[in-house]
Amino acid sequence: MKKFAREFLKLFWIFVFGCIMGYVMEVIFNFVRTGEFETRQGLIYGPFAPVYGIGTLVFYLILPKFKKMWQVFLVSGVLGGVTEYLCSYFQEKLFGTISWDYSNQLFNFNGRTSILYCLVWGALGVAFIKFVYPYFDKIFDKVLYKIGTKVITAFAVVFMIFNISISSLAAQREYERREHIEAESRMDVFLDEHFPDEILDEVYRNRIEK
C-alpha cells in the first residue's frame, strides 16, 4: 500500500509539473508570436494545461526505457503527437470545442497535430529525459515524501480533482446550452449561474467551437 501511495504521489506531481510548465510555455510562445499576454489554461482555476500534464506522464512512464537520444526524440514525437491528437478529439466529442487547430500547417493530421508539433514534442521529450527525469526522484525522496509535504499533497490532490471535475461539468453544460437543452437539475442551474458562457469564454480564450 505504501509503495502504491508513493507511486501515486510521484505521478500526481509529474502531472502537475507538466500542466504548469505547459501553461508557461504556451503563454511565452503566444507572447513572442503576437506580443500579447493571453491565458492558455485548460482548467477553470489555475495555470494548468492538462494536455502537457498528460504528455509529461506518458514521457515519465515510457521514455526511460530508451537510452539513445535519437530514440527518445522519435518516441517522444510520436507519443506527444498521439496525446495531442487524442486530447483534441475527445475535447471536440465531449464538449464541442477545440483548443488548437493546425489545419493551416503542412502535414497536419485532421488539424489536431502536425509534423511540426511532433518535432516540438520530440524536443520536449529529450529535454525531459536530460533535465527533469534524473533529478525528480531525488527531489521527491528528499522533499515531496515528508510528512508536511504529504499534507500539502493531500490538499493539492483534492483541489485538482475538484478543478478537473468542475471544469468538465461546466464545459459539458456549456455544450448543452448551445444545443438549447434546458437545465434539468440543481447542478445544471448552479453551472448556468456560476459558469455562464461569458465566464468560460474569458477563461478559455483560445477555444474554437466546432
Q: Per residue in 130-147, pLDDT tens?
A: 999 888 877 877 776 676
Whether residue 156 is predicted with pLDDT greater than 70 in this model: the reply is yes
More confident residue, 7 or 14: 14
Give dist(CA 73, CA 144) in Å, integer.
29
Domain range for 55:
2-209
Q: How many CB atoms lie within 10 A of CB 99?
A: 19
| Number of domains into which the chain is organized | 1
Angle, to 10 degrees, between the axis of helix 115-127 and the axis of helix 69-95? Answer: 120
Q: Which residues of 117-145 are buried (b: 16+ CB within 10 A; e: fewer)?
A: bbebbbebbbebbeebeeebeeebeeebe
At 65-83, the pLDDT tens digits run 998 999 999 999 999 999 9
- The predicted structure's pLDDT at residue 143: 74
- The predicted structure's pLDDT at residue 142: 76
Element (H, E) at 201: helix 197-203
Give dist(CA 25, CA 9) in Å, integer.
24
Q: How far is CA 134 from CA 11, 62, 64, 127, 144, in A?
A: 15, 14, 10, 11, 16
- The predicted structure's pLDDT at residue 26: 92
